[in-house]
């Protein structure tokens, strides 16, 4: 189900930059990367559209990765937010992080609950951040005060926002399709308008910018990940997107992460143990090496348990002419791993 909304940024130059960067990213995409896409991603990329309305507003639409807190999938997302906040309170209670989605004067992002603006995806991103930071500390691998973080498949950028709120001087690399990076740049520009974003079109002509500490967010098209220098990132993240890739693409990312990550080379991922989309993708077949050390690996109850699938409408048969949300199934597994360097 395609969602569409209009976002106000009050920054015409930023809107023009986002649209230009999307155009450059699409035109620069190699043909072999198009052929490597699964049917899932080909379908969802075709649904993403971004259009300038006027000097302060942009219209965006899409399906996968199109999660603007409190503005898309609102009805089902609110139910899941309440369930995550109160029904799964034992997972939230353990976190040290008491943060809220920043607001601007034009839109409300998330739902105001207990004095904080939150959403299901925002709580999930806090959960992932807490998993990474707490487990790494227990293993003696504390993140620095100004970490460099890389996420494969960041979607709208909610995980990037959470790390930026927790680490004010962090640098966050977002690696995704140009279309999805455009959605992330719209969302991040709306909630943290004063943060600096390094766009692909800017660093493509000056690759040295990729190692600069002057930017909060760095946009890297997935086909350009090889241009990120070696040994620069403290921790890498992937949640619920490798399960949608083929083994060739997963293998490529593992190879790049072993190069890009600096010691202790932490990689956190949360994906389904099995996912069928034309071909069966199994977590057990991910290309971990015998020399990789798993700090922990377990079923992720927080991510598995949702009351409703937000995008179920239109995907299931009618029952008495009514489409009914169903319980979400699947086993989400979280790993935090010290990756062996090749």
pLDDT at 328: 43
pLDDT digits (tens, 9 = 90+) for 194-234: 999 999 999 999 999 999 999 999 999 999 999 999 999 99
Contact predicate 153/236, CB 8 Å:
no
Average pLDDT over residues 79-93: 68
Strands (DSSP E) along the chain, which ranges? 3-8, 49-52, 57-62, 111-113, 116-118, 148-152, 171-176, 197-198, 217-221, 233-239, 261-272, 274-277, 279-282, 293-299, 332-338
pLDDT digits (tens, 9 = 90+) for 28-63: 999 988 888 888 888 888 899 999 999 999 999 988
Predicted confidence band of residue 324 (pLDDT cuts 50, 70, 90)? very low
pLDDT exceeds 80 at position 114: yes
pLDDT exceeds 90 at position 151: yes
pLDDT exceeds 80 at position 277: no
Q: SS3 for 220? A: strand
Mean pLDDT of the chain: 87
Indicate the pTM of the whole model.
0.92
Query: What share of the chain has pLDDT > 70, as a percent?
Result: 87
pLDDT exceeds 60 at position 330: no
CA–CA dist 192, 84 (Å, integer): 25
Place of tokens 């569409």: 4
Predicted confidence band of residue 142 (pLDDT cuts 50, 70, 90)? confident
pLDDT at 84: 78
Token pair, residue 11, equals 């920054």
Helix/strand/coil percentages in the chain, nearest 5: 40, 25, 40
Predicted confidence band of residue 317 (pLDDT cuts 50, 70, 90)? very low
pLDDT exceeds 60 at position 93: no
Predicted confidence band of residue 322 (pLDDT cuts 50, 70, 90)? very low
pLDDT at 190: 96
Place of tokens 């990474």: 132
């Amino acid at each position: 189900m395609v969602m569409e909304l209009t976002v106000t940024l009050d920054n015409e130059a930023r809107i023009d930059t986002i649209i230009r960067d999307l155009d450059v990213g699409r035109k620069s995409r190699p043909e072999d990367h198009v052929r490597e896409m699964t049917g899932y991603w080909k379908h969802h990329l075709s649904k993403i559209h971004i259009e300038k309305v006027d000097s302060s507003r942009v219209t965006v639409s899409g399906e996968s990765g199109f999660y603007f807190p409190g503005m898309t999938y609102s009805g089902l997302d609110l139910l899941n937010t309440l369930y995550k906040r109160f029904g799964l309170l034992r997972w939230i209670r353990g976190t040290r992080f008491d943060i809220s989605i920043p607001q601007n004067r034009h839109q409300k992002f998330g739902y105001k609950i207990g004095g904080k603006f939150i959403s299901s995806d925002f709580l999930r991103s806090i959960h992932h951040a807490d998993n990474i930071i707490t487990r790494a500390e227990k293993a003696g691998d504390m993140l620095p005060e100004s970490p460099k973080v890389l996420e494969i498949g960041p979607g709208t950028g909610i995980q990037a926002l959470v790390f930026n709120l927790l680490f004010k001087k962090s640098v966050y690399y977002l690696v995704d399709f140009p279309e999805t990076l455009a959605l992330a740049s719209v969302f991040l520009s709306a909630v943290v308008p004063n943060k600096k974003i390094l766009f692909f079109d800017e660093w493509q002509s000056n690759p040295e910018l990729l190692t600069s500490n002057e930017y909060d967010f760095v946009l890297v098209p997935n086909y350009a990940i090889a241009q990120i220098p070696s040994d620069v990132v403290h921790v890498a993240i992937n949640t619920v997107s490798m399960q949608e890739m083929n083994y060739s693409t997963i293998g490529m990312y593992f190879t790049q992460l072993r190069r890009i990550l600096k010691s202790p080379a932490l990689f956190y991922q949360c994906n389904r143990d099995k996912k069928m989309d034309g071909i069966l993708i199994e977590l057990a077949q991910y290309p971990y090496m015998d020399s990789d050390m798993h700090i922990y690996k377990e079923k992720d109850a927080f991510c598995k348990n949702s009351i409703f699938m937000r995008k179920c409408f239109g995907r299931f048969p009618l029952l008495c002419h009514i489409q009914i949300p169903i319980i979400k199934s699947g086993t989400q597994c979280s790993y935090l791993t010290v990756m062996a360097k090749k």
